[in-house]
């Protein structure tokens, strides 16, 4: 499995867990847990996470699902400079 796919899956699973926990917590406080709504909300969040990762491909570090580059560049004076 490529690093990009692993990164994408990790992000999607974290998003699913965070969304489900948030929706269950809100539902518990308000009335009762509507499991269909939790599943729908979690599914939508996972789809958005996957789409975001796919659209982020090769924007940041090569082969990752991140928009952020971790590569640090130095200017002529030796100090770190902002990326492209």
Query: Would you kindly state where each structural domain of the chain is located, as residue ranges?
Result: 1-58
What pLDDT does 3 receive?
Answer: 85
pLDDT per position as a tens digit, 27-49: 777 678 888 989 999 999 999 99
**Cβ contacts of 11 within 8 Å, gap of 6 or more:** 49, 52, 53, 65
Q: Which tokens is 46 given? A: 């996972």
Q: Give the SS3 label for residue 63.
A: coil
Average pLDDT over residues 19-34: 84
Q: Which tokens is 43 given? A: 């599914």
> Rounded to whole angstroms, how far apart are CA atoms 66 and 16?
18
Look up the pTM and report it: 0.70
Q: Which tokens is 41 given? A: 């909300």
**Cβ contacts of 29 within 8 Å, gap of 6 or more:** none
Band (82; pLDDT cuts 50, 70, 90): low
26 vs 73 pLDDT, higher one: 26
């Amino acid at each position: 499995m490529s690093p990009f796919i692993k990164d994408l899956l990790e992000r999607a699973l974290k998003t699913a867990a965070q969304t489900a926990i948030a929706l269950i917590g809100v539902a518990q406080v308000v009335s009762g847990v509507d499991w269909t709504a939790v599943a729908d909300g979690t599914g939508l969040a996972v789809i958005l996470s996957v789409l975001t990762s796919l659209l982020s491909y090769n924007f940041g570090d090569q082969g990752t699902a991140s928009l952020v580059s971790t590569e640090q560049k130095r200017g002529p004076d030796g100090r770190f400079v902002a990326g492209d």
